[in-house]
Amino acid sequence: MARQATQDKRTTTKIHDQTLLRGEGGELHQTRAGDTPVLTTAQGAPVADDQNSLKAGTPGPSLIEDFHFREKIFHFDHERIPERVVHARGYGAHGYFETYESLADYTRADIFQRAGEKTPAFVRFSTVAGSEGSADLARDVRGFAVKLYTKEGNWDIVGNNIPVFFVQDAIKFPDVIHSVKPEADRGFPQAQSAHDTFWDFISLTPESMHMIMWVMSDRTIPRSFRFMEGFGVHTFRFLNARDESTFVKFLWKPKLGLQSVVWNEAVKINGADPDFHRRDLWEAVKSGNFPEWELCVQLFDQAFADSFDFDVLDPTKLIPEEILPPRPVGRLVLDRMPDNFFAETEQVAFMTQNVPPGIDFSNDPLLQGRNFSYLDTQLKRLGSPNFTHLPINAPKCPFAHFQQDGHMAMRNPVGRANYQPNSLGEGPREDPAQGARSFREPIEGPKARLRPESFADHYSQARQFFNSQTGPEQKHIAMALTFELSKCENPVIRERMVAHLLNIDEALGATVADRIGLETLPKPADAAVAPRDDLPPSPALSIIQNGPPSFAGRKVGVLVSNGCDGKLLKALQMAIEKEGATVELIAPKVSGVVTADGTQLPAKHMIDGGPSVLFDAVALILSKEGAQMLAKEAAARDFVADAFAHCKFIAYSPEADPLFEKAGLEPDADEGLVPLDGAASIATFVQSCRKLRLWAREAAVKL
């Protein structure tokens, strides 16, 4: 697809009390109204364009002379100490990456030269918007950052669990984050996007519509780090020994399949255990159930890029897996937790510009800006240019340079000459053959702040994503949008957002409009490029259609009481563990119970501290007296009612009837309630659990 510079043809749009100019790229430019001040740099220089960074050609690489972008991103990177500006709440683990096969035809990156070779790795998962002390189950994008300690330097794949992003140009990154962070005048809300400033920005930024569909989906409330995908987001390049280029996108696929929670469940998990994701990863690694992902690549050439429906340099777009199937090239295994959280997980520094020879960049303007920004971020956060001396950040291969001194220097060059060239025969020298080289891409075009016309379609892939979801998933997106927009106090923002939704799916827009109480539907938002309706659904975009092959890695909570059937409990526990899942007992007291045969069993949780939201499925193995006693406990009634409402599979012994009755349920309400009376019924329950949820129940529950 030819990429032509957007011409200065603009339409005006009146929104609330502002006049906005819309370029052909779809971006909105605010014009001054009345006594509105002129936007300037910190030095007072008026700014002509705050939407696009300066580039050489369109779309060309970003230019270092762009003083406005440099100042804006510099100040943004230094806003907060000591936690990260974004991705403050994180959790990490050590492991290794094992290469499946040589990719020497595509790249000379050392990590991809030898099949079976293992490379040390450190991975940090995170939420984006919340502070370090926020809860794990906030609706938010999840960071998925991988540091690979290769033999030719560190390689950081600094990605998310979503393959696209909110904005197309890094100059807008401070704005989207400012909008989603706590509002500046009040300091709340924390770790959530359901407020006016976020949706004000989004509703004025059509390029965000694809990302918004992902953010409002269940992708942003994952059940576990272990059950989510990771994406490098951008298009990169592989360079082989002949300096031939192949475009590449990076994807991490969890071996245990995809899984998320429902919103009502997420809210309750945050109350019951705000460290839910951290605890899950810790317990999995410590128990030897090491999480695994496959690294997959989408490889393509310039001819594919030119023929694809969308610009591969646009970070708000993806390449559907059905069009370009991902190729597995290695596996990532996490097998060791940090010895010290601060020294490793908090001090680890990821930077997109950390690449070994054989990995190169594209002209994606968001990637170009990230490459420019991250060094500032680490300097501000870690306080010294010597942050690479910290063990978690230091390469594990030999390295040599002339950088010296500075705050907290832990190593310095040895010898007389700390410069080069020198004739004293000291110090390292460059190696044109082994060193990193950039792809020799010809650059043409004027120096300008523009976006290519090929970036201008903001709705078609958003529509494709929505159409690729199953019925329950589409319902969850509508519910999420309704909840979020209901928290906006300004009705203009709500109406403006519905106008965008009508361009994605008319029924979705109408549903949300009805639920938030709009009396009349607004006109669909002006679109720089008319949304397409011919993009086929992509099943790979659905969580439900990409669930686990088994119940392995999941957790069953078994509510027990004194006098329960110990043999039945043991048989159930053995069957679940054979499946690769784990069992945790919940009892009236954390000291445990005594079974009918006199066996003392300790509990993991007492009923008040072990709600069913913490588990993937539940079972009730009770005595008649125990069920009658628990039926009087609100926590026990909620245990059953919530499990049912969240569409989980529930196994039960016949004595549990009183608890079902008090919870307002019939024991034979649906096929997801499995009575336990022997080995066959236990097998039926375990087999049912592989589906994770009985989604047919959701319509009746109406959470």
What positions carry a catalytic annotation?
87, 160
Residue 299 · residue 65 · CB < 8 Å: no
Residue (of 555, 671, 696) closest to 269 by Cα position: 555
Report which of 249, 215, 220 is spatially closest to residue 232, judged by C-alpha positions: 249
Query: Distance between CA 241 and CA 105 in Å, rounded?
Result: 8
Residue 265 to residue 161: CA distance in whole angstroms? 20
Long-range contacts of 10-18 (CB under 8 A, 24+ apart): 11/526, 13/526, 15/204, 15/492, 15/496, 16/492
Angle at 215 between CA 363 and CA 195, to 5 degrees: 110
| Rounded Cα gap, residues 250 and 236, in angstroms | 8
* Total H helices, total E strands in the chain: 19, 23
Q: What is the rounded distance in angstroms from the CA atom of residue 606 to the CA atom of residue 589?
A: 5
Q: Which long-range contacts (CB under 8 A, 24 or more apart) does 395-400 make?
A: 395/149, 395/153, 395/154, 396/120, 396/149, 397/149, 397/150, 397/151, 397/152, 397/153, 399/153, 400/427, 400/428
Angle between helix axes 460-467 and 491-504 (nearest 10 degrees) is: 80
Closest CA to 280 of 253, 304, 299, 261: 261
Task: State phi, psi for 83 to the nearest 5 degrees.
Answer: -75, 165
Which distant-in-sequence residues (6+ apart) come within 8 Å of 599 by Cβ?
566
- Residue 108 near residue 355 (C-beta atoms within 8 A): no
The DSSP element (H or E) to which 700 belongs, if any, is helix 698-701
Q: What are phi and psi of 127, to 5 degrees?
A: -100, 160
- Distances in Å between the alpha carbon of 182 and those of 125, 131, 196? 22, 10, 10
Residue with tokens 């059509």: 206
